[in-house]
Amino acid sequence: MKIRKAFVAAFLVLCAISAYLGFAKIHIQYDKAVHFTTFFILTLVFYWILDTSRRRCINASILVCTLFGGVGSEFAQTLFPHRTFDPMDILFNVAGSLLAVVLCALYHQRMLTRARLARYQPVDDSAIAVGPDPEPDLELGDIAPVDDER
C-alpha cells in the first residue's frame, strides 16, 4: 500500500481551510451547502490518498471522512462555547461525503476495468482459419475415420 503524497498535502490544506471556516466567528448564509461541499471535496481528495484496493479506499474514506469527520466534528462543536450542535449539519456532511465515495468508487472501478482490458492485445483476425473445417467434430461414441495416406 502506497501513500500518494500530493493528495496528503492537498487534504491537509483543505482540512486547514475547513477548520478555519468551521471555527471562525463568521455567519455563512448557505451553511448547509457549505457543509455538503466541504465534505464532498475532503472525501474526494482523501479517497485517492491510499494506493490500495478499491474496497480499502471505500472503507477508509467512510470511516475517516464520513464518521470521524462528518459526524465527529459536529459532536466536537459542543465543546466550544460559540458553536452549536445541529443535526442537519450531520446530514449534509454525511450526504456530501457519501456522494464523493460513490463517485470515486465508480471511477476507480472504471479505471481498473480499463487497465485490465489494456493488458490484453486484440486477436489477429488473419490467424483465424476461415472456410470448411478440415476435421469434422466427433461426438461421444463416434469412431474417428482412418487415414489411408499414412
Structural domain boundaries of the chain?
2-120
pLDDT in tens, 17-29: 998 887 777 777 8
**Number of other CB atoms surrounding residue 131 within 10 Å:** 5
In this prediction, residues 104-124 reach a mean pLDDT of: 88
pLDDT of residue 51: 93
Question: What cell was used for 56?
Answer: 480499502
Q: What is the pLDDT of residues 4-58, one digit of tens each?
A: 999 999 999 999 999 888 777 777 788 899 999 999 999 999 999 999 999 999 9
In this prediction, residues 54-72 reach a mean pLDDT of 95
* pLDDT value at residue 126: 65
